[in-house]
Chain A
Amino acid sequence: MTALIRLRLVAFLRTGRALAPLLSVLVVLGVIYGGGQAQAAEAYGFSAAVLFPVVAWQTQILFNVEPDTQRQLSTVAVGGLGREIVAGLLTALVPAFALVAIALALPWALGGITGPQRPGDPSLASGVVAGVWAHLLLVPPALLLGAVASRAAVGNAARGLAVLAGCTVLAFAVGTKDSPVPWLAPPLLPTARATVDGLAAGPLAVQTAFAAAWAAVALVGYVTLRRRNA
């Protein structure tokens, strides 16, 4: 399985298609942190929200790089659909974590993070921990959204783009604080809000459960679609 992960990563990097999501993240983070300093929790809350659609998009690109017939050859070679699916998701984790690392490190390079400004503000350390939590929490649902939007799952690239764009719009439209159905959307805005508010055990636990549930539903959806298309 490691060999398949390596081959897919090399293909993703060699086609140059890894550049588009990378540049997008750099531009957006540059805009966020270029305007001045912010406290860690607030800054990381925004960057986690921004990273969500980019990780999903990056995963979709990575999956779509592999021709359909090559995916069949990989499936036979690695020993079946289950192992091919696991290898694909593990492959997507590598560039996703790379984007997370960039998103967490860049504000320090740009001098965009500041400590507490007023009494009662969360400490720098708790802001950083909340930020790391938010970024890592959003990786599984974002990655699985990208997987669901891949050609292997939905049949063609145009349909995949519609799924990706639709879910991202849904996340912003339905994920607001006053939404009657916030659970319908990927847990993007609620996670960002929980991060900005600092480390409070209650909201963080709720958001962790929400993201895990959303990721589980997306995983079941992805596996079902792959098995149906197999």
Chain B
Amino acid sequence: MRLDGVWLRYRRGEPWVLRGVEASVAAGEAVAVVGRNGVGKSTLLKLAAGLLRPQRGAVRERPARVGYVPERFPADQPFTARRYLLGMAAIHGLAPADGRRAVGEWAERLHLDPLLDSPLAELSKGSAQKVGLVQGLVHRPDLLILDEPWEGLDAATRAKVPAIVAQTLDRGGRVLISDHLGEVGSLPDVRTWELVDGQLSTPELAPVECVIEVAVTGAEVDAAVASLRAAGHRVLGVRIPS
């Protein structure tokens, strides 16, 4: 998918939100769109999803199956989560049996299954976000667009996002994901587009340090510490039970 010289603004006379954006996303590639609040990350994602039309330039070679997960899921709808998700699966073109299976699998994976028969309006913000996530995933999209997917999710579900992205990439799909929380470092092989003043730059992400807790026997402590340091890791501390 390519953005060819895309210019976009919401109304005539207003400043351009996107100015001559040139970019492409290859099959099997994930791109994180980063930038300060209000810079136009969501606008760029909506453009990629086909929800906005550029005044100049074009979005080309957009895959047919698109999954779009908005920053805030609109829970003010008169459905249970199950009825809504089955309805969205059908709109995506899934047969009823396939829709039931896909909704069941994703609900189980995201621990949403106990809430499937709850009205959407009664779900917590995090659970509603999970519904938003599932509706964008049930049809195995070739282009997955996630607008701030970590927003409002509990820690356990946030930790599943990298696997969801990796699964889409493994199928040869493309993933566009926006983030202002700095969570993109947890994603596998992600490329970054930084949006500044309506234009894209592609800075390298600073490596994210992770902490691993390792248990060894008392006799192995010194050797393990030395081995880790020799491998270039920082050893933050050693706890020896009294």
Q: Which of A88-137 contact B (CB under 8 A)?
A: none
- Complex CA distance for A14 and B79, rounded to whole angstroms: 8
Quick check: is B165 within 8 A (CB to CB) of the other chain? no
Is the CB–CB distance between A230 and B52 below 8 Å? yes
- Segment from B70-78, B172-180, B190-198 that makes contact with A: B70-78
Residue A76 at the chain B interface, CB threshold 8 Å: yes
Is the CB–CB distance between B78 and A73 below 8 Å?
A: no
Q: How far is the CA of A78 from the CA of B53 in the complex (A)?
A: 17
Q: Chain B residues with Cβ under 8 A from A72's Cβ?
A: 46, 49, 51, 68, 70
Smallest CB–CB gap between A17 and chain B, Å?
10
Q: CB of A22 within 8 A of chain B? A: no
**Given A76-B66, A227-B53, CB of A69 within 8 Å of CB of B73:** yes
**A6 within 8 Å of B (CB atoms):** yes
Q: Are B79 and A11 in contact, with the CB atoms below 8 A?
A: yes
CB pair A75–B50 under 8 Å, yes or no, is yes
Say if the beta carbon of A77 comes within 8 Å of chain B: yes
Number of residue pairs A-B, CB distance < 8 angstroms: 66
- Looking at chain A's contact residues, the main secondary structure is helix
* B168: interface (CB < 8 Å): no
Q: Give the complex CA separation of A76 and B145 in angstroms.
A: 11
**Chain B residues whose C-beta falls within 8 Å of the C-beta of A69 in the assembled complex:** 70, 72-74
Do A81 and B50 touch (CB < 8 A)? yes
Q: Nearest Cβ distance between residue B99 and chain A, in whole angstroms?
A: 9
Interface positions, chain A 40-84, Cβ under 8 Å from B, are 66-70, 72-81
In angstroms, Cα B86 to Cα A6, docked, is 12
Residues A7 and B91 in contact, CB atoms below 8 Å apart = yes
Distance of A137 Cα from B240 Cα, bound (Å): 86
Contacts of B139 in A (CB 8 A): 77
A4-B67 Cα distance, complex, nearest whole Å? 16
B88 CB within 8 Å of chain A: yes
Do residues B64 and A79 form an inter-chain contact, with CB atoms below 8 A? Answer: yes
Query: Assuming the A-B contacts A11-B79, A79-B64, are A73 and B88 also in contact, with contact meaning beta carbons closer than 8 angstroms in the complex?
Result: yes
A201 contacts the other chain (Cβ, under 8 Å)?
no
User: Which 10 pairs show the lowest CB-CB distances between chains A and B?
Assistant: A3-B90, A67-B74, A14-B78, A7-B87, A77-B91, A69-B74, A76-B68, A3-B91, A70-B74, A4-B91
In the complex, 30 of the A-B residue pairs with CB atoms within 8 angstroms, ordered by the A residue number, are: A3-B91, A6-B87, A7-B84, A7-B87, A7-B88, A7-B90, A10-B78, A10-B83, A11-B78, A11-B79, A14-B79, A15-B78, A69-B70, A70-B74, A72-B46, A72-B51, A72-B68, A73-B70, A73-B88, A73-B135, A75-B50, A76-B49, A76-B50, A76-B66, A76-B68, A77-B135, A80-B50, A81-B50, A230-B51, A230-B53
Besides A69-B72, A79-B64, 18 more A-B contacts (Cβ < 8 Å) are A3-B87, A7-B87, A7-B91, A10-B79, A14-B78, A15-B78, A67-B74, A70-B74, A72-B51, A73-B70, A75-B51, A76-B51, A76-B67, A76-B68, A77-B88, A77-B91, A77-B92, A230-B51
